[in-house]
Structure formats: C-alpha cells, structure tokens
Amino acid sequence: MADALGMDVGSYKTVLACVREKGVDIVLSETTERSTPTLAAYTEKERLIGASASNQRRKNTKNTL
C-alpha cells in the first residue's frame, strides 16, 4: 500500500508516482511507459485516455482534447 500519491500533469505528458517505505515508485502506463500523454478522446461508444487517445488524435481530431 502506498503512503502518498503524486501526479504531475503537464501540457503534453502526465506522470504518476507513489511513495512507499523504500522510496518513490513511478506508476507505469498501460503501454509500460513512465509517462502517459495528457489526452482524452471521445468516440460514439467509448472514452479514451492516454496512449489510446493519442492513437485516435488524427482520426478523431474534433473529439480529442
């Protein structure tokens, strides 16, 4: 269990970290990256965040933030 969580939300990337007894651990994204794109995309059927939203950016520019 983590003692504290930290979040660095940048313009382009977001990093999550948790403080544990032995130090700070960076939380990996679903694509095992240390950071994830700060993006959200909406389709007719689902809401996408991070790398999934980044993949939709060119096809779905109107609904990507």
Domains and their CATH numbers in the chain: 4-63 (3.30.420.40)
Model pLDDT, residue 2: 57
Location of structure tokens 């790398």: 51
Residue 48 confidence class, pLDDT cut points 50, 70, 90: very high
Q: Which residues contact 9 (CB under 8 A, 6 or more apart)?
A: 38
Mean pLDDT of the chain: 88
**What mean pLDDT comes out for the span 8-30?**
88
Model pLDDT, residue 45: 94
Question: How many Å apart are CA 6 and CA 15, to the nearest integer?
Answer: 8
Q: pTM of this prediction?
A: 0.68
**What are the φ/ψ torsions at residue 53 (nearest 5 degrees)?**
-70, -35
Model pLDDT, residue 17: 93
